[in-house]
Structure 1
């Protein structure tokens, strides 16, 4: 029996990554979404632009970017089993949790497992999120 192919996932809203990696990779029923940040949808020939300077603007756009990769890979938030959150400031934890809880309030399935760590990101970026989904 042959193993399922590994397929790179790049939504139409995303520009090519700046290094040799994929926005998402699907193999069989596993979809790994690479770390996404709060860049607005790509505009041909223009550099990526953050959704805004606030944690709220960047978090909502980051979640939208993760969702775009999930959907392009045939998944939804209901399929996500693990989410990793990378924040640049420990002072953002409470605000991030409020935004996160509101975003996922309508999910019917059990909430995904989550890890939150504090990191350095490129200047102006406040949050990065990746996700692991297991489909049907």
Structure 2
């Protein structure tokens, strides 16, 4: 017979022996499960893929939020610059622009005016989409510029 290890006390009753056997079985089962999990390459790959997918979704959400904020900032800045440009225009230039607008209304053929009006209305109706696209383009341009630096 073999002697018990020195770190474990000897069993004094059959009940204690049964408890020890059950505990050893449970530990062995946990060890086998852990080893099986380590050898399950497909399962580990799926877990890693799910983790990467989750991280990508989180990063996409962050980038979308940043793009929205940046688009709002750019929109405000563009509006401010447009107002500054209008304020700096001399009165003669504003008058000439008004005259050009009137001349356009008088001289442009009707189909051209209709198409122009449709395009302008389409731009007004899809303003958010156009601003979002412009914001995404600016963010992409900034990201590309940072990578080159």
Question: Could you say which structure has the larger radius of gyration?
Answer: 2
Fold agreement, TM-score > 0.5: no
**TM-score normalized by structure 2?**
0.19
**TM-score normalized by structure 1?**
0.21
- Higher relative strand content: 1
